[in-house]
């Protein structure tokens, strides 16, 4: 197993003093009030272990949010666990279910931790490729790959790296496929609020039939512009969550205390997450406008921090070579989308992260214009 592409490209960016539009994180600061609430929690003495499953008032606030947003009736005691980030929640969910020999349907391009986490559990990833260039799912292909060994399907919307989003019809198709099977769904929804163009996020939480067999993964890092906090949560049915907690208790046991205290209050400020998509859409639109001055061509994005651009009019090099060259010679780091596939693939596309200050986006495009 090699080093993740995010570390590779961020290190390269640092070495060559390139603008980092690769790894997905905002370069603007998070909310000051939330920082003050964490400081206050620490000063108030909340510095010891908190309940293994997370601070209950925070879980209650999350349950209320799920009801308001998705009309989902979630029991905060039994169905929510706070975790040290979304990646950890994914790993725990996957480890809870999989046994050696199990098969898992994974859509490629796939966020880079899914397949290693499946394989670390001795299971096998069965790949279904999203259809280029809008990266939609061919559900007939999914049907053709399901068999008695299929134990799990991993979905991700809004999608990293493509920014595609699942529709109500996609969720219907998924429901039909898993009905009368033992297939568990892992739904990675860390970008739930980062959705554009007046689209609505199709959370599994909206579908009670799917909810019973799902682990749904969230990350505070994305919702509060603090990816370095590494704090998230998992929602599942009481039965599955009971199993999840058996792994969780002997892995990290519990998560950061002061941030949970701070978030329990702050999460009630609905305006923050309701405005998040609109604010980020302005950045997508700004970047897209600026990029018209370059030879890069945009593909559609409806959510996440990311947009994919084609460089087919500039070079025929493979994506990794081109991304490295762009970092070293033009001073802009990106992520080659081929890094999210197992097979060799060269669609001549790169992923750009646009959750950056406007001035960062302007400076990056000034550099890209010269190519």
Tell me which residues touch ligand PMP (CB under 6 A). 24, 85-87, 111, 156, 160, 188, 190, 219, 221, 227, 230, 232
Q: How far apart are CA 163 and CA 22, in angstroms?
A: 14
Pick what 311 binds: ligand PMP, ligand GLN, none; C-beta below 5 to 8 Å, kind-dependent: none
219 binds ligand GLN (CB under 6 A): no
> Which parts of the chain are beta strand (E)?
19-20, 80-83, 103-108, 124-129, 150-156, 184-188, 214-219, 232-236, 297-298, 306-310, 332-333, 335-336, 349-353
Among the listed residues 20, 23, 164, 301, the single contact to ligand GLN using CB under 6 A: 23
Kindly state the smallest distance separating residue 90's Cβ from ligand PMP, in Å: 6
Total residues interacting with ligand GLN, rule: CB under 6 A: 5
Kindly state the smallest distance separating residue 256's Cβ from ligand GLN, in Å: 18
Kindly state the smallest distance separating residue 195's Cβ from ligand GLN, in Å: 16
Q: Give the nearer residue to ligand GLN in terms of CB position, either 4 or 330.
A: 4
24 binds ligand GLN (CB under 6 A): yes
- As a residue count, the chain comes to 371
Cis peptide before 133 (omega within 30 of 0): yes
139 binds ligand GLN (CB under 6 A): no
Chain mean position to CA 139 = 22
Q: Give the nearer residue to ligand GLN in terms of CB position, either 26 or 76.
A: 26
Q: Give the nearer residue to ligand GLN in terms of CB position, either 85 or 258.
A: 85
- Those residues whose C-beta lies under 8 Å from the C-beta of residue 136, and which sit 6 or more positions away, are 130, 164
Q: Across the chain, which distance is largest between two alpha carbons, in Å?
A: 58
Pick what 6 binds: ligand PMP, ligand GLN, none; C-beta below 5 to 8 Å, kind-dependent: ligand GLN
Q: How far apart are CA 365 and CA 349, in angstroms?
A: 17
Pick what 23 binds: ligand GLN, ligand PMP, none; C-beta below 5 to 8 Å, kind-dependent: ligand GLN
- Judged on CB neighbours under 10 Å (0-12, 13-18, 19+), 312 is middle
Pick what 254 binds: ligand PMP, ligand GLN, none; C-beta below 5 to 8 Å, kind-dependent: none
Say if strands 184-188 and 214-219 run parallel, antiparallel, or are unpaired: parallel
């Amino acid at each position: 197993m090699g080093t993740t592409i995010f570390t590779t490209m961020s290190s390269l960016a640092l070495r060559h003093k390139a603008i980092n539009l690769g790894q997905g994180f905002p370069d603007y600061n998070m909310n000051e009030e939330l920082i003050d609430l964490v400081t206050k929690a620490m000063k108030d003495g909340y510095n010891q272990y908190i309940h293994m499953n997370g601070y209950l008032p925070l879980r209650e606030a999350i349950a209320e949010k799920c009801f308001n947003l998705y009309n989902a009736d979630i029991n905060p005691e039994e169905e929510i666990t706070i975790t040290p980030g979304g990646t950890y929640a994914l790993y725990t969910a996957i480890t809870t279910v999989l046994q050696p020999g199990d098969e898992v349907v994974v859509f490629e391009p796939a966020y880079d931790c899914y397949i290693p986490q499946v394989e670390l559990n001795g299971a096998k990833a069965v790949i279904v490729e999203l259809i280029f260039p809008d990266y939609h799912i061919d559900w007939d292909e999914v049907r053709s790959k399901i068999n008695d060994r299929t134990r799990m399907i991993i979905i991700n919307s809004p999608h990293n790296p493509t920014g595609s989003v699942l529709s109500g019809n996609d969720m219907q198709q998924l429901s039909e496929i898993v009905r009368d099977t033992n297939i568990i769904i892992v739904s990675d929804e860390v970008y739930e609020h980062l959705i554009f163009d007046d689209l609505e996020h199709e959370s599994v939480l909206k579908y009670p039939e799917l909810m019973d067999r799902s682990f749904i993964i969230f990350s505070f890092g994305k919702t509060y512009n603090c990816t370095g906090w590494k704090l998230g949560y998992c929602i599942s049915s009481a039965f599955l969550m009971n199993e999840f907690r058996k792994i969780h208790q002997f892995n990290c046991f519990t998560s950061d205390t002061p941030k949970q205290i701070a978030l329990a209050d702050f999460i009630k400020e609905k305006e923050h997450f309701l405005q998040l998509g609109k604010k980020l859409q302005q950045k997508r639109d700004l970047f897209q406008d600026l990029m018209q001055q370059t030879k890069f061509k945009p593909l559609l994005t409806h959510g996440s921090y990311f947009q994919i651009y084609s460089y087919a009019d500039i070079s025929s090099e493979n994506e990794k070579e081109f991304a490295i060259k762009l970092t070293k010679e033009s001073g802009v780091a990106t992520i080659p989308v081929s890094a999210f596939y197992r097979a060799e693939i060269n669609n001549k596309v790169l992923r750009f992260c646009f959750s950056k200050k406007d001035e960062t986006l302007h400076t990056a495009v000034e550099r890209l214009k010269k190519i």
